[in-house]
Amino acid sequence: MKKIEEEIDKTVAELYGITDEELKEIRKCLMILKEGEIPEEEEEGEEEQQIVLPKKDIEINVNPLLIEENKQQELTVSVQNNTDKPIKDVKLEVKLKSKSLLTKTIKEIKPNDLVSLKFTVPKLKSGEYELEIHFSSQNVKFKELRKLFVKEKRKKVKKAGGSLDDELERLLR
């Protein structure tokens, strides 16, 4: 089934003039939208494998990770406590290019509880950016990275009014 899906993807990519590299990026974006994060890339030459990570004690997600170009947008960072004990005095910071977008202290995250916080991302040009998420509590401290994808705005094509002869005459003037 996977081989058939890959063949369909390649055929559609050819029809739309999508390069192999662009197809790879599209697959990454779809995986992020579906699963929240993607495994790190393996070395060239090795076959891609699906890596299933064990459920973490503290799970962090950022949504959405695909945003529009040149538009200030709101994102949500979620922290899930997958332990059977509360996590106290949590400090959470989200950074983009060493600029802090969110710094928040949470008194307590109860067992199996989810805390969501909103923050605003400034206007960005199309491309990939790295979000740094710093988490610290009484006895846990770590940093996670998430790729933020900024899609290019499509330019609107102005449709010509009138007949083709009128348009040609206008262009020749």
Pick 80 or 50 by higher pLDDT. 80
Confidence check: pLDDT of 162 > 90: no
State the angle between helix axes of 20-35 and 2-16 in degrees (0 to 180), rounded to the nearest 10. 120
Report CA torsion sign: 91, 94, 95, 99.
Answer: negative
- Supply the pLDDT for residue 11: 85
Distant-in-sequence, close-in-space partners of 152: CB < 8 Å, separation ≥ 6? 69, 126
pLDDT, mean over the chain = 81
Confidence check: pLDDT of 161 > 80: no
Hey, which CATH number is domain 51-153, 3.30.70.1230, 3.40.449.10, 2.60.40.10, 1.10.150.130? 2.60.40.10
Confidence check: pLDDT of 43 > 70: no
Amino acid identity for residue 142 in this structure = F
**Looking at residue 53, what DSSP letter applies?**
P
- Supply the pLDDT for residue 150: 92
Give pLDDT tens digits for 128-140.
999 999 999 987 8
Question: pTM for the whole thing?
Answer: 0.58
Q: What is the dihedral of CA 120, 125, 14, 49, to 10 degrees?
A: -50
**Looking at residue 33, what DSSP letter applies?**
H
Q: How many residues does the chain have?
A: 173
Instruction: Delimit the domains of the chain by residue range.
Output: 1-35, 51-153
